[in-house]
């Protein structure tokens, strides 16, 4: 490659890299959620663990009936998680210091403002709707289950027993049902007999939650879970006991999930731009080095050959001269001999 | 080759070690070794950390963990007294170990070592179990000994009475009571401790946690005053006079003291401890201090008539309210706040919601009891106070010739104030009020929202009567619920007290499937939370929130 | 194993073939089960553990160990180290088969394998690291296929296309290195999104860098390892050039691996230091981490270094095995052992026997294909008709000859 061409490529690469916008492949540090998006506020001090929310969800989503009926509260003796047949579970937590009795927590998709599942999905099967719900599109899902790895709350579930149409199953905030007008509030919210769940705009729910914290400071822990966790969620929680005692992780931080990978993804175009230049450069340098080495070798060989040639010629010349001289000397000798012979010869022949 | 081979061998060995290590550690279930939480040993009350030399510079070794009761047990068995270790100064035991005032750290160290270790060696030589001998420094200087757990041991009404009444504490010469044997104050003129009748205070008012100049710390004072006396009595065979650390400061010791207290009280007439007389008024008219009023032209709150005698019965010692000294509240807590009162104004001192010594604070704390909590737990404490509430306590007082100016009241002398207060208190109605039985519906049938269940048949009158019964004998409840409509407000809230309060549906919408404003629940949740929260706070466990059919039967499909 | 087989008579019923056939049959049965009973009927995957052995081994290890392709071709064509030329084709073949089998195994693991092209052709999830992995693997598989094609074309005798591709070697190599860098590091970046689930000793914002650097070490070691195995089993297919260059390949790659492992070790230590994770080293997971770092990174690094300096080729080969095991251990740690470490022991994952069987089956297919291709196509030898125009360093042109060997196995395994 010519030097000119190489330098030109280097310049182009540099320009390309410089023009690149700051890399925010997925997360935006300032996103506070779609204004007017809806969410749910769950109040753990109100929940009585009756499981009617589970029944309501099961009914409106037409999920299969569970092995134990919803009225059976003995299932609360064990901790459960979501599965493909249940979008939400209620768990009971006993013997928490500071609590008069058992505390119940309802768990389901938290509909994050910047969902990890949506960031992780390589076919964009998840979308964060402006209404607040995080929905899953079954028409493109490949079933790779990276969303299940990504979700910090361990929510999405997979129909492992389905062969041709295994789906990712998770709470939808009843988005299709609400947008089509069949419901005005999600099934679980409508079923709760004590309004431990209320549905409304996220901004309003936060105000309501703050008012409760203000009015009854002795009743609640001064924290709205979901206000900032993982960048904020549309499902908010209030509790009278530490959230960790309710099996909710308090070590997730406030960084939204897409920010965790946006740095690595930002490096990709840089590699794609710089590596070819770098490698071509190395190749070119090597090639040039080899060419120079070859040239030098050829030169050295030529020089050596010339030298040998010259030496050989000198030797030959010397030998030739010597041979000539020898020959001359030999001729002289012979002539001399012949003359001597000739001089002696006629004497002998004259009588 | 040799080097590589040995490296490989080493690697193989390491691998095996690591595999075994992993298995052994992993078999613990992946528990973090470094973060393993050691269950703390239950601390002993008699653990004393001897760190005398800390006052002289950095300690070379950790403070000595010394178990006092262990040692006194042994000494007592050998019929030795406290003087085996503690010198007597001015008739009182010195808390220092085997020394009078010595300030040389080396000398102090030597004394400790000589006598502690010496005694241990002697005891061991005699063949008896003993403490650590010489050379095992860290057996005594043990950094890891558990923390001392000492329950605060003070006097309450009953225990104080037991001392007052006790024949073992003789009356001081010339008197008929034995107050002077403990109570004293420091006379600056004579520089001596003298007894001043009518000015007895709590020990803690002068003897603070840390020793001051010439004033012993509470610990030193209490031990010197109490322990030796108890020990002498115990030696004479008198029972229930604890002298060991555990005797007062352990949970078991406290239980024993409480038991004895109860036994004493049970034997008394009226099952009550006689009133502790220190010249306090039976009733007090709480007004701001006289000096404060010079700056104020007009506009004070009406005074509060305070039933001091009754309140003495409700608390088990004076310090609950008189938390620093027996003076009147207004002496330190002035209108604008004063240095003696920690800049806490009179208003805050009387109305602070969180602190026990404040009137409102104490009353609030009483509202948490199960009889009250059903209603009071869900009444927001931070709401704006109503005028009606203030008037319960702040009563206008009419003075002949002076009208009802509160400013004039402050000029009155104590006996006049007391008289006025007594008048106000006598005129109070101390019965909880409610409407006539005929006006209280007996059975209320709740028919709204019929869906899965039949109507609720709510035994309204019975509930009201049960709540009224719960207020019997409780003067606080009786006074503040004197008005008949007040108690109904527990359920019939956010409307003026009335014989016919509005039905719930007037404010709580029936439709519960809608987005709602604020914190006001729709009807279903209003019903459920009202009843369920009350049952839970009043600890009525039989009426569990999930036992649906206890309240409404299921409709047959 | 058979010793002296009279030339000209080969039996199909070698022990290896028998075992391989059994594995293939079992694999076929499990494949049928997988596609009739679904993932739940064959694996121990659950909602808590969505990724199991197939991702840990077939995907992560498969991609990491196939890194020899780009390393060798970069060494030869970009860095101009012509003495490694004979190692390029076997490395490319290993990589090509490796990546093909990765995609093959993915079709078992993914819920709807027929939708695997969706991310590229239907809807692109460009915020996803997995999208980037998929795209690069897809493109790289095509690249590897094209790089492997000449040996197939030579076998089939299509000169013109073969020459065309060979002329594009440099471009293909560079493209391959670019793609490899991106997807090797992105496999590590996959786990960046789950800091709450990966143990702090393995989670780091440098995960992509760790995966990339360790893939280089893996590639170099795999070339040595595969070369050693091939020497034992495919010796009769190797020409003089290959045989004479082989030792130099082992030496040179060992040197490279020693350096790369040293750098990787340092990076890992920096990763611990930067987030102050020293305390975790005192735990049981810490012991396991130290085992991985000291026993499978530091140790092979030392062994490589010593082996190169003392010219001990046997030690080089053992160090290569250790490195390969170390890479497998690292990938297993990140995706399985240290993943979901916060769950209760009862909720942790262990593969079912069928998952293990499928992984073995996939590897067996790879070995069989490798054997087939290298038997019939010019992988270990150069077809004299298609002499490479690039002259060998310092070697004269000479007619490659297969060294006549009796088919008898060498008594030593990894000696030469």
Specify whether the backbone of C340 is left (phi greater than 0), alpha (psi in -120 to 50) or beta.
left
Q: Does residue C40 sit within a domain?
A: no
B365 token code pair? 């704390």
Which chain C residues are within 8 Å of B18, Cβ to Cβ? 287, 290-291, 295
Please indicate whether, in this complex, the C-beta atoms of A195 and B380 are within 8 angstroms of each other. Answer: no
Tell me if residue C55 falls in helix, strand or coil.
helix
Q: Above 50 in pLDDT, residue C51? A: yes
- Residues B116-123 have a mean pLDDT of 90
Say which residues have a Cβ less than 8 Å from residue B195's Cβ, sequence separation at least 6. Answer: B172, B179, B180, B183, B184, B185
Please indicate whether, in this complex, the C-beta atoms of A25 and C79 are within 8 angstroms of each other. Answer: no
pLDDT band, residue B30 (cuts 50/70/90): very low
Size of interface B-C (CB pairs under 8 A): 57
Strand positions, DSSP E, A176-277: 197-201, 235-238
pLDDT at B328 (0 to 100): 85
Burial (CB count within 10 angstroms: exposed 0-12, middle 13-18, buried 19+), residue A212: buried
Q: How far off is chain A from B551, nearest CA to CA, in Å? A: 14
Beta bridge partner(s), residue A90: A106
Q: Above 70 in pLDDT, residue B383? A: no
CA B461/CA B443 separation, integer angstroms? 7
pLDDT tens string C353-385: 999 999 999 999 999 999 999 999 999 988 888
Mutation test of the interface with chain C: which of B12, B23, B24, B30, choosing the one with the most C Cβ atoms within 10 A? Answer: B30
Q: Does residue C394 sit within a domain?
A: no
Looking at per-residue confidence, does B92 or B496 come out higher?
B496
Place of tokens 């009137």: B359
Tell me if residue B505 falls in helix, strand or coil.
helix
pLDDT at C45 (0 to 100): 96
Q: Does residue C130 sit within a domain?
A: yes
Q: How far off is chain C from B6, nearest CA to CA, in Å? A: 11
pLDDT band, residue B401 (cuts 50/70/90): low
CA C76/CA A60 separation, integer angstroms? 64
Q: Above 60 in pLDDT, residue A22? A: no
Q: Above 50 in pLDDT, residue C326? A: yes
Please indicate whether, in this complex, the C-beta atoms of A215 and B383 are within 8 angstroms of each other. Answer: yes
Please indicate whether, in this complex, the C-beta atoms of C303 and B26 are within 8 angstroms of each other. Answer: no
Highest-confidence segment of A45-49, B466-470, B522-526, C396-400: A45-49
Mutation test of the interface with chain C: which of A27, A144, A276, A292, choosing the one with the most C Cβ atoms within 10 A? Answer: A144
- Residues A18-27 have a mean pLDDT of 51
Identify how many contiguous H helices and E strands chain B contains and give both numbers: 23, 10
3-state DSSP percent of chain A in helix, strand and coil, to 5: 45, 10, 40
pTM of the model: 0.83
Chain A: residue whose CA lies nearest to C188:
A264
pLDDT band, residue C406 (cuts 50/70/90): very low
Q: Above 70 in pLDDT, residue B26? A: no
Please state, rounded to an integer, the average pLDDT across all residues of chain A. 90
CA C196/CA A153 separation, integer angstroms? 9
pLDDT tens string A290-343: 899 999 999 999 999 999 999 999 999 999 999 999 889 988 888 988 988 888
Which chain A residues are within 8 Å of B378, Cβ to Cβ? 216
Those chains having 3 or more beta-carbon pairs within 8 angstroms of chain C are: A, B
Q: Does residue C122 sit within a domain?
A: yes
Half-sphere exposure of C83 (CA within 13 A, CB side): 13
Please indicate whether, in this complex, the C-beta atoms of B525 and A101 are within 8 angstroms of each other. Answer: no
Q: Does residue C407 sit within a domain?
A: no
* Chain B, window 1-20: residues with a beta carbon less than 8 angstroms from a chain C beta carbon: 1, 3-4, 7-8, 11, 14-15, 18
Place of tokens 């000696």: C415
Specify whether the backbone of B443 is left (phi greater than 0), alpha (psi in -120 to 50) or beta.
beta
Strand positions, DSSP E, B310-447: 443-446
A224 token code pair? 């709205």
Q: Does B382 touch chain A (CB under 8 A)?
A: yes
In chain B, pLDDT over 90 holds for what percent of residues? 11
CA C214/CA C222 separation, integer angstroms? 12
Candidate from B383, B529, B546 with C-beta closest to A49: B546
CA C173/CA C148 separation, integer angstroms? 12
Which chain B residues are within 8 Å of A195, Cβ to Cβ? 512, 521-522, 524-525, 529
Bridge pairing between strands A157-158 and A168-169? antiparallel
DSSP state of C239: B
- Residues C44-60 have a mean pLDDT of 96
**Kind plus residue range of the DSSP H or E element containing B304:** strand B304-306
* Chain A, window 82-141: residues with a beta carbon less than 8 angstroms from a chain C beta carbon: 82-84, 116, 118-125, 140-141
Please state, rounded to an integer, the average pLDDT across all residues of chain B. 83
- Residues A28-32 have a mean pLDDT of 70
Those chains having 3 or more beta-carbon pairs within 8 angstroms of chain A are: B, C
pLDDT at B50 (0 to 100): 87
Say which residues have a Cβ less than 8 Å from residue B462's Cβ, sequence separation at least 6. Answer: B442
Q: Does residue C390 sit within a domain?
A: no
Looking at per-residue confidence, does B175 or A89 come out higher?
A89
Q: Does B237 touch chain A (CB under 8 A)?
A: no
CA C318/CA B8 separation, integer angstroms? 9
pLDDT band, residue A351 (cuts 50/70/90): very low
Which chain C residues are within 8 Å of A116, Cβ to Cβ? 193
Q: Does C196 touch chain A (CB under 8 A)?
A: yes
Please indicate whether, in this complex, the C-beta atoms of A165 and C50 are within 8 angstroms of each other. Answer: no
Number of domains in chain C: 1
pLDDT at B41 (0 to 100): 44
Identify how many contiguous H helices and E strands chain A contains and give both numbers: 8, 9
Q: Above 70 in pLDDT, residue C304? A: yes
pLDDT at B6 (0 to 100): 73
| Contact (Cβ atoms closer than 8 angstroms) between residue C255 and residue C304 | yes
CA B151/CA C362 separation, integer angstroms? 70
Candidates B426, B310, B374, B397; CA nearest to B538 is: B374
Candidate from A163, A252, A276 with C-beta closest to C174: A276
Domain range for C219: 45-381
Q: How far off is chain A from C82, nearest CA to CA, in Å? A: 11
Q: Could you give phi then psi for residue B458, rounded to 5 degrees?
A: -100, 120
Looking at per-residue confidence, does B443 or A17 come out higher?
B443
Candidates B306, B282, B432, B316; CA nearest to B359 is: B306
**Kind plus residue range of the DSSP H or E element containing A189:** helix A187-191
Sign (positive or negative) of CA dihedral C139, C142, C146, C148: positive
- Residues B213-220 have a mean pLDDT of 85
Which chain C residues are within 8 Å of A85, Cβ to Cβ? none
Distances (CA, A) of B114 to B72, B98, B117: 19, 10, 6
Please indicate whether, in this complex, the C-beta atoms of B22 and C341 are within 8 angstroms of each other. Answer: no
Q: Does residue C97 sit within a domain?
A: yes
CA C215/CA C67 separation, integer angstroms? 6
Lowest mean pLDDT of A53-57, B218-222, C70-74, C204-208, name the range: B218-222
**H-type alpha helices, B31-128:** 68-77, 105-112, 118-125
pLDDT tens string C118-145: 999 999 999 999 999 999 999 999 999 9
A117 token code pair? 């599942």
CA A224/CA A110 separation, integer angstroms? 13
- Residues C103-125 have a mean pLDDT of 95
Q: Above 80 in pLDDT, residue B371? A: yes
CA B125/CA C270 separation, integer angstroms? 60
Please indicate whether, in this complex, the C-beta atoms of B1 and C310 are within 8 angstroms of each other. Answer: yes
Q: Following CA atoms B203, B208, B213, B215 in sequence, which dihedral angle do they give, to the nearest 10 degrees?
A: 20
pLDDT at B219 (0 to 100): 86
Distances (CA, A) of A300 to A307, A309, B481, C393, C394: 10, 14, 118, 17, 15
Q: Could you give phi then psi for residue C19, rounded to 5 degrees?
A: -60, -45
Mutation test of the interface with chain C: which of B4, B24, B34, choosing the one with the most C Cβ atoms within 10 A? Answer: B4
Q: Above 70 in pLDDT, residue B165? A: yes
| Contact (Cβ atoms closer than 8 angstroms) between residue C67 and residue C218 | yes
pLDDT at B15 (0 to 100): 75
Q: Above 70 in pLDDT, residue B66? A: yes
Beta bridge partner(s), residue A236: A41
Please indicate whether, in this complex, the C-beta atoms of A279 and C177 are within 8 angstroms of each other. Answer: yes
pLDDT at C415 (0 to 100): 41
Q: Does B519 touch chain A (CB under 8 A)?
A: yes
Candidates A119, A330, A159; CA nearest to C125 is: A119
Mutation test of the interface with chain A: which of C48, C111, C175, choosing the one with the most A Cβ atoms within 10 A? Answer: C111
ipTM confidence score: 0.89
| Contact (Cβ atoms closer than 8 angstroms) between residue C85 and residue C392 | yes
pLDDT band, residue C404 (cuts 50/70/90): low
Q: Following CA atoms C391, C396, C399, C403 in sequence, which dihedral angle do they give, to the nearest 10 degrees?
A: -110
| Contact (Cβ atoms closer than 8 angstroms) between residue A89 and residue A75 | no
Helix axes A257-349, C129-156, angle to 10 degrees: 30
Tell me if residue B431 falls in helix, strand or coil.
coil
Which chain C residues are within 8 Å of A282, Cβ to Cβ? 78-79
CA C60/CA C330 separation, integer angstroms? 10
pLDDT tens string A170-211: 999 999 999 999 999 999 999 999 999 999 999 999 999 999
CA angle C30, C34, C39 (to 5 degrees): 130
Q: Does residue C27 sit within a domain?
A: no
CA B9/CA A270 separation, integer angstroms? 45
The CATH number for C360's domain is 1.20.1630.10
pLDDT band, residue B325 (cuts 50/70/90): confident
Residue B522: how many CB atoms within 10 A of its CB? 18
Please indicate whether, in this complex, the C-beta atoms of C178 and A275 are within 8 angstroms of each other. Answer: yes
């Amino acid at each position: 490659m010519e030097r000119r061409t190489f330098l030109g490529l280097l310049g182009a690469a540099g320009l390309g890299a410089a023009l690149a916008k700051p890399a925010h492949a997925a997360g935006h540090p300032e996103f506070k959620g779609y204004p007017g998006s809806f969410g749910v506020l769950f109040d753990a001090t109100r929940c009585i663990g009756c499981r009617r929310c589970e029944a309501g969800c099961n009914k409106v989503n037409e999920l299969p009936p569970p092995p134990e009926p919803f009225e059976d509260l003995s299932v609360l003796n064990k901790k459960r998680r979501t599965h493909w047949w249940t979008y939400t579970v209620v768990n009971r937590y006993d013997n928490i210091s500071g609590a008069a009795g058992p505390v119940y927590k309802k768990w389901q998709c938290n509909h994050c403002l910047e969902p990890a599942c949506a960031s992780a999905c390589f076919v964009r099967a998840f979308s964060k709707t402006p209404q607040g719900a995080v929905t899953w599109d079954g028409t493109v899902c490949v079933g790779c289950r990276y969303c299940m790895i990504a979700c910090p709350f361990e929510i999405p579930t997979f129909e492992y027993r389905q062969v041709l149409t295994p789906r990712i199953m998770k709470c939808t905030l009843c988005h299709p049902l609400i947008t089509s007008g069949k419901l005005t509030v999600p099934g679980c919210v409508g079923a709760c007999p004590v309004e431990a769940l209320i549905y409304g705009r996220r901004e309003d729910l936060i105000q309501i939650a703050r008012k409760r914290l203000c009015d009854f400071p002795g009743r609640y822990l001064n924290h709205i879970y979901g206000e900032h966790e993982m960048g904020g969620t549309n499902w908010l929680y209030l509790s009278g006991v530490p959230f960790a005692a309710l099996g909710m992780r308090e070590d997730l931080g406030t960084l939204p999930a897409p920010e965790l990978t946006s740095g690595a993804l930002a490096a990709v175009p840089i590699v794609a731009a710089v590596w070819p230049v770098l490698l071509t450069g190395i190749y070119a340098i090597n090639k040039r080095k080899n060419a120079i080495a070859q040239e030098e070798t050829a030169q050295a060989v030529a020089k050596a050959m010339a030298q040998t040639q010259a030496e050989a010629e000198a030797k030959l010349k010397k030998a030739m001269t010597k041979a000539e001289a020898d020959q001359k000397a030999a001729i002289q000798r012979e002539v001399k001999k012949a003359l001597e012979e000739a001089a002696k010869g006629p004497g002998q022949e004259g009588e | 080759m040799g080097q590589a081979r040995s490296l490989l061998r080493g690697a193989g060995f390491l691998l095996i070690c690591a595999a075994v290590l992993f298995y052994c550690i992993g078999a613990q279930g992946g528990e973090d070794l470094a973060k393993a939480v050691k269950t703390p040993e239950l601390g002993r009350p008699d653990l004393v950390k001897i760190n005398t030399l800390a006052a002289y510079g950095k300690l070379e070794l950790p403070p000595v963990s010394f178990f006092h009761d262990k040692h006194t047990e042994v000494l007592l068995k050998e019929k030795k007294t406290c003087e085996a270790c503690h010198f007597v100064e001015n008739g009182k035991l010195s808390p220092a170990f085997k020394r009078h005032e010595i300030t040389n750290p080396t000398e102090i160290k030597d004394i400790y070592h000589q006598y502690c270790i010496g005694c241990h060696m002697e005891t061991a030589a005699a063949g008896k179990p003993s403490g650590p001998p010489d050379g095992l420094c860290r057996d005594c200087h043990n950094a890891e000994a558990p923390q001392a757990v000492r329950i605060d041991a003070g006097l309450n009404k009953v225990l104080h009475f037991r001392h007052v009444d006790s024949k073992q504490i003789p009356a001081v010469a010339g008197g008929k009571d034995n107050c002077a044997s403990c109570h004293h104050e420091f006379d600056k003129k004579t520089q001596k401790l003298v007894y001043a009748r009518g000015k007895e205070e709590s020990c803690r008012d002068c003897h603070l946690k840390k020793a001051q100049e010439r004033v012993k710390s509470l610990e030193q004072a209490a031990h010197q005053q109490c322990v030796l006396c108890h020990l002498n009595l115990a030696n004479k065979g008198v029972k229930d006079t604890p002298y060991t650390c555990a005797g007062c400061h352990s949970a078991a010791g406290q239980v024993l003291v409480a038991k004895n207290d109860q036994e004493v009280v049970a034997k008394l007439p009226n099952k009550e401890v006689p009133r502790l007389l220190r010249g306090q008024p039976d009733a007090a008219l709480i007004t701001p201090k006289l000096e404060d009023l010079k700056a104020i032209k007009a506009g004070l709150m009406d005074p509060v008539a305070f039933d001091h005698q009754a309140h003495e019965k409700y608390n088990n010692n004076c310090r609950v309210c008189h938390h620093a000294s027996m003076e009147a509240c207004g002496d330190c807590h002035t209108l604008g706040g004063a240095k003696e009162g920690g800049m806490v104004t009179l208003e805050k001192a009387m109305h602070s919601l969180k602190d026990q010594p404040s009137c409102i604070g104490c009353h609030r704390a009483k509202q948490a009891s199960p009889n009250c909590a059903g209603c009071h737990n869900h009444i927001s404490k931070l709401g704006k106070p109503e005028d009606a509430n203030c008037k319960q306590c702040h009563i206008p007082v009419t003075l002949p010739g002076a009208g009802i100016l509160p400013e004039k009241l402050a000029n009155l002398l104590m006996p006049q104030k007391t008289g006025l207060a007594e008048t106000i208190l006598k005129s109070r109605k101390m019965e909880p009020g409610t409407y006539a039985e005929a006006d209280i519906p007996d059975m209320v049938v709740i028919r709204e929202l019929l869906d899965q269940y039949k109507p609720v048949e709510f035994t309204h009158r019975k509930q009201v009567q049960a709540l009224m019964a719960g207020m019997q004998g409780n003067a606080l409840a009786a006074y503040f619920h004197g008005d008949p409509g007040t108690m109904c407000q527990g359920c019939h809230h956010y409307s003026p007290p009335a014989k016919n309060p509005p039905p719930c549906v007037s404010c709580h919408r029936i439709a519960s499937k809608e987005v709602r404003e604020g914190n006001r629940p729709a009807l279903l949740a209003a019903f459920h939370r009202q009843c369920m929260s009350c049952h839970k706070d009043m600890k009525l466990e039989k009426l569990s929130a999930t036992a649906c059919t206890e309240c409404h039967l299921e409709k047959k499909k | 194993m058979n010793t002296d087989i009279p030339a000209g008579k080969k039996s199909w019923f070698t022990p290896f073939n028998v075992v391989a056939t059994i594995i293939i049959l079992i694999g076929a049965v499990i494949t049928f089960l997988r596609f009739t009973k679904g993932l739940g009927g064959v694996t121990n995957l659950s909602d808590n553990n969505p990724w199991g052995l197939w991702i840990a081994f077939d995907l992560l290890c498969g991609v990491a160990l196939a890194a020899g392709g780009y390393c060798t071709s970069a060494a030869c064509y970009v860095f101009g180290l012509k003495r490694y030329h004979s190692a390029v084709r076997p490395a490319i073949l290993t990589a090509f088969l490796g990546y093909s089998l990765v995609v093959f195994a993915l079709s078992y693991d993914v819920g709807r394998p027929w939708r695997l092209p969706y991310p590229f052709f239907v809807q692109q999830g460009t915020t996803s690291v997995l999208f980037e992995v998929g795209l690069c693997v897809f493109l790289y598989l095509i690249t590897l296929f094209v790089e492997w094609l000449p040996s197939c074309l030579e076998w089939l005798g299509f000169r013109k296309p073969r020459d065309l591709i060979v002329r594009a070697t440099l471009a293909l190599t560079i493209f391959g290195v670019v793609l490899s860098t991106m997807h090797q590091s992105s496999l590590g970046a996959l786990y960046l999104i789950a800091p709450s689930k990966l143990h702090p000793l393995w989670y780091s914002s440098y995960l992509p860098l760790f995966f990339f650097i360790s893939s280089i070490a893996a590639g170099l070691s795999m070339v040595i390892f595969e070369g050693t195995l091939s020497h034992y089993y495919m010796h009769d297919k190797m020409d003089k050039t290959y045989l004479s260059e082989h030792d130099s390949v082992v030496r040179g790659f060992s040197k490279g691996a020693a350096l790369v492992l040293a750098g990787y070790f340092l990076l890992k230590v920096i990763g611990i230091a930067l987030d102050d994770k020293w305390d975790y080293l005192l735990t049981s997971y810490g012991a396991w981490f130290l085992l991985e770092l000291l026993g499978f990174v530091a140790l092979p690094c030392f062994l490589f270094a010593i082996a190169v300096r003392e010219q001990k080729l046997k030690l080089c080969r053992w160090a290569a095995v250790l490195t390969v095991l170390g890479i497998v251990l690292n990938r297993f740690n990140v995706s399985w052992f240290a993943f979901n470490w916060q769950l209760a022991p009862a909720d942790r994952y262990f593969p079912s026997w069928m998952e293990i069987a499928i992984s073995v089956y996939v590897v067996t297919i790879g070995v069989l294909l490798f054997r087939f291709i290298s038997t019939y196509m010019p992988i270990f030898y150069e077809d004299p008709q298609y002499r490479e125009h690039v002259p060998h360093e310092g070697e004269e042109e000479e007619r490659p000859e297969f060294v006549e060997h009796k088919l008898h196995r060498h008594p030593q395994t990894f000696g030469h």
